[in-house]
Amino acid sequence: MDGNRRYPRFKVCRKHCRCSLRRTGAILMISKVGVIGAGSMGTAVAQSISRRAGEVFIFGRKKEIVDSINTDNRNANYFPGLRLNPNIRARLMGDRLDVAGCAAVVIAVPSSEVRSVVKAAGDDLSDQILVTVSKGLEYPSLKTMSEIIRDETGNPDMACFSGPTFADEIAYGHIAGATIGAGDDPSLRATMSDLFGEFILDFSDDLRAVELCGVLKNVYAIGTGMWDSVYSNHNEHYTFLNMCYKEMCTFLKAISHDKDIFTKFCCFGDFNLTANVDKSRNRTLGLMVGKKIVKTPYLESGVTFEGSRSVKGIIELADTHDIDLPIARFVYDVLSGNNNVRASVDTLVRKAP
Ligand X SMILES: NC(=O)c1ccc[n+]([C@@H]2O[C@H](COP(=O)([O-])OP(=O)(O)OC[C@H]3O[C@@H](n4cnc5c(N)ncnc54)[C@H](O)[C@@H]3O)[C@@H](O)[C@H]2O)c1
Selected catalytic residue, list 11, 15, 143, 217: 217
Residue 67 and residue 58: Cα distance in Å, rounded?
Answer: 11
Contact code string over 13-42 relative to ligand X, x by CB under 6 A: ------------------------xxxxxx
Position 167 contacts ligand X (CB under 6 A) = yes
Contact code string over 77-116 relative to ligand X, x by CB under 6 A: ----------------x--------------xxxx-x--x
Residue 93 and residue 188: Cα distance in Å, rounded?
Answer: 27
Residue 180 and residue 183: Cα distance in Å, rounded?
Answer: 10
Peptide bond into 8 cis (omega under 30): no
Applying the rule CB under 6 A, the residues between 283 and 322 that interact with ligand X are 304, 306
93 or 325: CB nearest ligand X: 93
93 or 334: CB nearest ligand X: 93
50 or 165: CB nearest ligand X: 165
9 or 309: CB nearest ligand X: 309
Nearest-approach distance from CB 196 to ligand X, in angstroms: 13
Phi, psi angle pair for 174, to nearest 5°: -75, 155
Known binding site for NAD(+): residues? 37-42, 167, 281
Contacts with ligand X by CB under 6 A: the residue count is 25
Residue 258 and residue 31: Cα distance in Å, rounded?
Answer: 32
Q: Is 217 a catalytic residue?
A: yes
Which residue type occupies 18? R
Note the residues at the interface with ligand X (CB under 6 A): 37-42, 61-62, 93, 108-111, 113, 116-117, 133-136, 165-167, 304, 306
Enumerate the active-site residues: 217
